[in-house]
Amino acid sequence: QAHEVSDPITGPQTPDSSVHCVNAKVLGSPAVVAGRYGTGLQFDGTDDAAYLPYRPSIALGDSDFTVSTWVKYSATTADQVIFWAYGTGATERSMWLRAQPSKDRFYGYLQTDSGAYELSVPDPSAAAGFGDNAWHLVTIRRSGNTAELLVDDNRSSTPVAGSLTYGDTFSVDGIRLGVKPDGTNRFKGALDEFRIHRRALTDSELTGNVDF
């Protein structure tokens, strides 16, 4: 039997422009700043975050998908979560993306019912982990049995199998922006145009800033 997860998190909402109405809840007091397109949110690294409550429309399962956002931050030494989807723990199905300036890279991770898969894109300047206070388009994309992490024109890929989510909504969490579910690894910087597509977008679609 499927159970709808209760949603204890409250806060101002930012509307979902798609037909799925998965409105994000804004936590803390992130500043509204100039984004890559229009306006974005500036997270302070202390208590700012956003949360997309779990809905079937963001349960990606074993299907193709594209999750992308524009990221702008200044490098520090600490790991910073860009987004974290679903569960936590060594065997819980999940997907997350971290900025790791201490290792000069963005680092992505997928845990399915078939195993764990890692993706890493180093900063070509080998200096700041893309933490140069400029906008970067960061994407995790799955197409069939291949997962990719793309940062601007840089990318890595790995074979992938299995499902990211369960068949019902019992004990399934949503997606957090700017923080790990336990409140650590907080992001200090700006995010804009966070998008989830239930198909593998082409490279030209990704950079076109078009609604699909």
Sheet strand arrangement including 115-122: 13-14, 24-27, 49-52, 175-177, 80-86, 94-100, 105-112, 115-122
Mean pLDDT of 126-152: 93
142 pLDDT tier (thresholds 50, 70, 90): very high
Nearest to 95 by CA among 114, 117, 78, 73: 117
73-128 pLDDT, tens digit each: 998 888 999 999 998 888 889 999 999 999 999 999 999 999 999 999 999 886 67
Residue 20: the pLDDT is 55
- pLDDT over 90 for what percent of the chain? 67
Torsion sign across C-alpha atoms 192, 56, 206, 115: positive
Nearest to 186 by CA among 195, 178, 176: 178
Give the bridge partners for 190, in sequence order. Answer: 42, 72
Q: 205: which DSSP letter?
A: H
Rounded to 5 degrees, what angle do the CA atoms 37, 38, 42 make?
Answer: 90
Mean pLDDT of 48-62: 90
CA-CA-CA-CA dihedral for 162, 90, 25, 187, to nearest 10: -120
Q: How crowded is residue 38: how many other Cβ atoms within 10 Å of its Cβ? A: 10
Mean pLDDT of 32-40: 94
More confident residue, 13 or 149: 149
Within its chain, how far is the Cα of 22 from the centroid?
A: 15
- Looking at residue 59, its amino acid is A
Residue 170: the pLDDT is 56
The average confidence (pLDDT) of the chain is 86
157-201 pLDDT, tens digit each: 999 999 999 876 555 689 999 999 999 999 999 999 999 999 999
Q: 19: which DSSP letter?
A: T
pLDDT at 36 over 70: yes
Residue 188: the pLDDT is 96
Mean pLDDT of 139-146: 97
